Amino acid sequence: MKTLPEHLRFTTGHCRFGGLLLAVSDDGVAAILLGDEDAAMVADLQQRFPSATLKQDSKGLEQDMQALLAYVDHPLGRLQLQRPLAARGSEFQKRVWAELSRIPAGQTITYTELARRVGNPAAVRAVAGACAANPLAMVVPCHRVLRSDGGISGYRWGVDRKLRLIELERELAAGSGA
C-alpha cells in the first residue's frame, strides 16, 4: 500500500457550486474538494491528510485549476489535467470509485445497485461510506448515487450541491443528445 503524501500543493478557485480546492502530491491529483470557504476546504484537506505539509501554489497549479473550472461548468466527457488522478483509499473504496466513474453524466444509480455492481450486494452502507470518503469531488461522481426510493440523500459537500450537480448534468446530457 502506498504511503500518504508528505507534501501537498494546493490552490483554490470559485465555481457555480461555491469554492473548489485542487491538491496534488508527487503522484498526481490527491484531492478535489468543494466548499463554501477557502479556509474550511483547507481544513478539510488537512484532516484528510493529517501528516502532510500543505503549501499553497496558485501559480504552479493554475493550468490544472482552469481545466477543473471548465469541467465543473460543463461536466460531460473527461477532465483534462496535466497530472494523473492519485486518490488514496482502500481497495474496496477504489472499486466503488471506479464503478462510479462508469456512470454517465445525467444518469443516476442507487446505493443498492452500486453495491451489486462492485460485487457485494450486502455492502450498501460500506458503499455509502466509500462515497463519503471520496476525495475527488465531481471527477469521481458520488453525487450520481441516490437512495433506493430515488430520493436525494447525504452528500459530503451538501445535499443542495448534489441536487444542483445532478440537475446540471441532466440538462447538459439532454442538450447534447447523450
Which residues are designated catalytic? 142
C-alpha separations of 87 from 25, 105, 125, 151 in Å: 10, 21, 21, 28
Q: Which of 83, 106, 104, 74 is nearest to 32 (CA)?
A: 83
User: 91-100 vs 124-133: helix axis angle to the nearest 10?
Assistant: 80
**DSSP letter (8 states) at residue 135:** S
